[in-house]
Amino acid sequence: MMEQDIQRVLFTQERLKSRVAEIAREIERDYEGREIMLISVLRGSFIFMADLCREIQLPCTLDFMSVSSYGTGTSSSGQVQITKDLSEDITGRHILVVEDILDSGNTLNYLLRILENRHPASIRLCALLDKPERRVKPVELHYRGFTVPDDFVVGYGLDYAEKYRNLPYIGVLKPEVYGG
103 given a catalytic annotation: yes
Average confidence (pLDDT) over 44-48 = 96
Q: What angle do CA 58, 63, 65 make, to 5 degrees?
A: 140
AA identity, residue 90? I
Alpha-carbon span 35 to 57, nearest angstrom: 10
Architecture of domain 14-149: 3-Layer(aba) Sandwich (3.40)
* 134/7: higher pLDDT: 7
Determine the pLDDT at residue 74: 52
What's the rounded mean pLDDT across residues 5-27?
Answer: 98
Continuous H helices in 44-101:
46-55
For residues 152-172, b (16+ Cβ closer than 10 Å) or e, as one string?
A: bbbbbbbbeeeebbebebbbb
Q: Quick one: pLDDT band at residue 76, thresholds 50, 70, 90? A: low
Mean pLDDT confidence for 6-16:
98
Q: Could you tell me which residue, 67 or 46, shows the higher pLDDT? A: 46
Cα–Cα separations (whole angstroms), residue 22 to 15, 148, 171: 11, 18, 21
pLDDT band for position 75 (cuts 50, 70, 90): low
pLDDT of residue 179: 86
The pTM for the full model equals 0.92
Q: What is the secondary structure of 15-44 as a DSSP string?
A: HHHHHHHHHHHHHHHHTTT--EEEEEEETT
What CA–CA distances, in Å, run from 20 to 15, 29, 87, 120, 129? Answer: 9, 14, 26, 25, 11
User: What is the pLDDT, as a whole number, of residue 180?
Assistant: 74
Q: What is the pLDDT of residues 55-74, one digit of tens each?
A: 999 999 999 999 876 555 55
Please identify which of the residues 5, 51, 103, 130 carries the catalytic annotation.
Answer: 103
Structure confidence at residue 69 (pLDDT) = 66
pLDDT of residue 46: 96
Length of the chain: 180
CA 39 to chain CA mean position, Å: 10
Task: Report the alpha-carbon distance of residue 12 to residue 6 in Å, rounded.
Answer: 13
| Domain range annotation of the chain | 14-149
Phi then psi for residue 40, to 5 deg, are: -85, 130
User: Cis bond leading into 43, ω under 30°?
Assistant: yes
Mean pLDDT of the chain: 93
